[in-house]
Amino acid sequence: MEAKIGTTRVILISGDITEQETDAIVNAANPGLMGGGGVDGAIHSKGGPDILKECRIIRQTLWPDGLPTGEAVATTGGRLKAKKVIHTVGPIWSGGNKGEPDLLAQAYRSSLTLALRMGLRTISFPSISTGAYAYPIEKASRVAIKTVIGFTERNAGIEEVRFVLHSYNDLQVYEKALAEYMI
Ligand code: ADP
């Protein structure tokens, strides 16, 4: 499924984010930036050790206490097809009254802002927070779609935003959110 927002294409596919050839792929990281399970583990294992090396430097220089929820940083893509990995931290779901929607929106916005600042024109996102962080995917998909489309309406320069959903079911949830948003 695809939508055109100004000069930006928003594309929804099912697949593996580590296989995407966009300028950047986004990692649903944790504050430690030292790798983990889920999409984080897949990115580090396929991208190789240079990504972790840069994450260590970022921890030492920029974020000694860890990357706060909603922030984003960039490293090399290492051996991945993508030039850069943008690491962001989504919120852990704890019922929905702890600012989770705002924090999730911030994670998407920070990633897009960083991509723009770095001159990156195409970017792939996973479904941030809906794995280990347990954010209900129907709710998360609506925040993700609204935030990305809102950002691209206000900021020119991103040519393509690709959501890469790890299952067909997740893709269908995001397609519903996009269809409802476009009405
Ligand atoms: P979080 O801690 O932010 O919840 P997870 O990595 O646990 O991050 O899960 C986020 C989403 O990423 C989940 O929907 C999961 O199915 C998905 N995912 C896991 N591996 C991949 C992959 N290789 N490509 C795309 N999405 C993936």
Ligand 1 within 6 A of 111 CB?
Answer: no
Residue 65: which residues within 8 A CB-CB, separation 6 or more? 31
Q: How far does residue 129's CA lie from ligand 1's centre (Å)?
A: 8
Ligand 1 within 6 A of 100 CB?
Answer: no
b/e 85-115 (16+ beta carbons within 10 angstroms → b): bbbbbbbebeeeeeebbebbbbbbbbbbebb
Q: How far does residue 43's CA lie from ligand 1's centre (Å)?
A: 10
Which tens digit of pLDDT belongs to each residue from 3-17?
Answer: 999 999 999 999 999
Above 90 in pLDDT, residue 147? yes
Above 90 in pLDDT, residue 183? no
Q: Class for domain 2-182, per CATH? A: alpha beta
Above 90 in pLDDT, residue 179? yes
Kindly give the number of the ligand 1 atom that is closest to the alpha carbon of 30. Answer: 2
Above 90 in pLDDT, residue 125? yes
Q: Are 17 and 42 in contact (CB under 8 A)?
A: yes
What is residue 26's predicted lDDT score, i.e. its pLDDT? 99
Is 102 a known active-site residue?
no
CA-proximal residue: ligand 1, atom 19 (nearest): 39
Indicate whether this model's pTM tops 0.85: yes
CA-proximal residue: ligand 1, atom 20 (nearest): 39
Across the range 151-177, mean pLDDT stands at 97
Q: How far does residue 183's CA lie from ligand 1's centre (Å)?
A: 28
Average pLDDT value over all residues in the chain:
98
What is residue 129's predicted lDDT score, i.e. its pLDDT? 98
Give the rounded percent of residues in the chain with a pLDDT score beyond 70. 100
Above 90 in pLDDT, residue 69? yes
Q: How far does residue 127's CA lie from ligand 1's centre (Å)?
A: 6
Cα gap 12→18, rounded to integer Å: 15
Across the range 103-124, mean pLDDT stands at 98
Pocket test of ligand 1: the residue of 12, 22, 25, 39 to mutate, having most ligand atoms within 8 Å of its CB, is 39
How is residue 77 written in tokens? 């893509």
Across the range 72-86, mean pLDDT stands at 98
Above 90 in pLDDT, residue 45? yes
Ligand 1 within 6 A of 42 CB?
Answer: yes
| Backbone φ and ψ of 44, nearest 5° | -65, -40
